[in-house]
Amino acid sequence: MLNIKSQRFLIAASSVTGFLGVAFGAFGAHILKPDLTPEMMSVFEKGVFYQLIHSAVSLVISLNGFEKFYKSVLFFLGGVLLFSFSLYLYSVTSLKLFAMITPAGGILFLAGWLMLIFRYPKDK
């Protein structure tokens, strides 16, 4: 069950990941762009895109206190860590190990969306 401390934590975590998404986007566009190949820049930007989308959705759910949806937020935030951050690391290091982590984050994103899909009609 989501108590007020848990809700505050989810709001803070969603806000931090949103802030970092904007910061990483600016960092990539202004600092990294000259040093990355177009392909790796695209990888970096994909990480930013998914981070910002899932941060925004997580924040909306957390702010509205939807107790029945908080598990989706946990999956989205976990997905940001595994998906987006592995793409950031892969794009700047080209180490395939980081790219191999990315699908786990994608699975967490999908799980979060499935929780929303199947939970909403059930509890309406």
Domain boundary assignment for the chain? 4-123
Residue 67: the pLDDT is: 79
Residue 121: the pLDDT is: 62
Residue 122: the pLDDT is: 60
Q: Which residues of the chain have pLDDT under 70?
A: 1-2, 65, 120-124
* Residue 65 φ/ψ region, left for φ over 0, alpha for ψ in the -120 to 50 degree band, beta for the rest: left
For residues 112 and 118, give the distance between their C-alpha atoms in angstroms, rounded to a whole number: 10
- Output the CA angle 3-50-40, nearest 5 degrees: 145
Percentage of the chain exceeding pLDDT 70: 94
pTM higher than 0.85, yes or no? yes
The owner of tokens 């986007």 is 25
Residue 119: the pLDDT is: 78
